[in-house]
Amino acid sequence: MIDIHTHVLPGLDDGAADLEESVALAEQAAADGVLTLVATPHIREDHDVPIAELAARAKRLTVELERRSIPVRILPGGEVATSVAPTLTDEQLRAVSLGGASRYVLLEPPYGPLPRNFEDVVFGLALRGFVAVIAHPERSHDLRTNLERLAELVRRGSLVQVTAAALAGDGKSESARFAAELVERRLAHCLASDSHRAGQRAGIAEARRALASKSIGMAEYARQMTHDVPERLIADEPARVPPPLERGRGRRRAWRRAPGPLGAG
């Protein structure tokens, strides 16, 4: 499996504080069956992350894991704040894209109210050739209370990442119910851990098992979210994702090629 949202690089943000914590996160991932971690430190005002160094830091951590016989590779990336994304150059956006050389940018909605220009930021990325992968929308009150706002972004080419912990628990919280609805409506495309510390949050294998147990056909969808789609994103290939379902409609089996920026291509 591939985890596209982790804070595994040491000493950059609120994730792993040092190398040993990074190693512990990687060991936990390997035990979970995850062999590729995209390191996505926060690219936002409260963290001074050296974008130009991310690829080298990811490589150094991979080499250290190899030295310790931990079969996990680390790829560069970033979790880019909505407020920061428009200020980055194309070169910087490419450096913090998923895998460090793709069109896919993990975009972090604010925990408070969404800015009025949220859609403008998403479409601004698209005009520059990038595709927003919206991180953990289940944590955004504005998106939870207006699912159609998110659905419209998906229809126009954006992708959505849900967090494993929201799907692996008892399903009673607002975030968990919203994440489940995203899955039911096929508005979720990647399942990731958003891990900061070892043992802190549910792994994606646990969430994948929980999804697979819900209904016939869900196991395949869960596999797509934890391997096939992430693999295509880090390889900078067009994602193949299921078409969204309207409320009350049956499941569709066909997968579609995700539209390019603003639905083109």
Which residues have a Cβ under 8 Å from the Cβ of 220 and sit 6 or more positions away? none
Confidence band of 168 (pLDDT split at 50, 70, 90): confident
Query: pLDDT for 87-103, tens place per residue?
Result: 999 999 999 999 999 99
Query: pLDDT for 77-86, tens place per residue?
Result: 999 999 999 9
Which residues have a Cβ under 8 Å from the Cβ of 144 and sit 6 or more positions away? 137, 138, 174, 175, 178
Mean pLDDT, the chain, rounded, equals 90
Query: pLDDT for 101-129, tens place per residue?
Result: 999 999 999 888 898 899 999 999 999 99
Lowest mean pLDDT among 68-72, 255-259, 261-265: 261-265
Residue 164: enclosing H or E segment and its boundaries?
helix 164-168
CATH number of 2-263: 3.20.20.140
Mean pLDDT (whole number) for 135-144: 93
pLDDT at 2: 97
Query: pLDDT for 181-215, tens place per residue?
Result: 999 999 999 999 999 988 876 688 988 888 888 76
Mean pLDDT (whole number) for 52-70: 98
Query: pLDDT for 220-251, tens place per residue?
Result: 899 999 999 999 999 999 998 888 887 654 44
Query: pLDDT for 211-224, tens place per residue?
Result: 888 766 788 899 99
Residue 255 reports pLDDT greater than 50: no
Which residues have a Cβ under 8 Å from the Cβ of 184 and sit 6 or more positions away? 245
- Sorted by where each begins, the domain ranges of the chain are 2-263
Residue 264 reports pLDDT greater than 70: no
Q: Are 77 and 39 in contact (CB under 8 A)?
A: yes
For residue 171, report the phi and psi dihedrals to the nearest 5 degrees: 75, 15
Residue 190: enclosing H or E segment and its boundaries?
strand 190-192
pLDDT at 22: 97
pLDDT at 216: 63
Residue 135 reports pLDDT greater than 50: yes
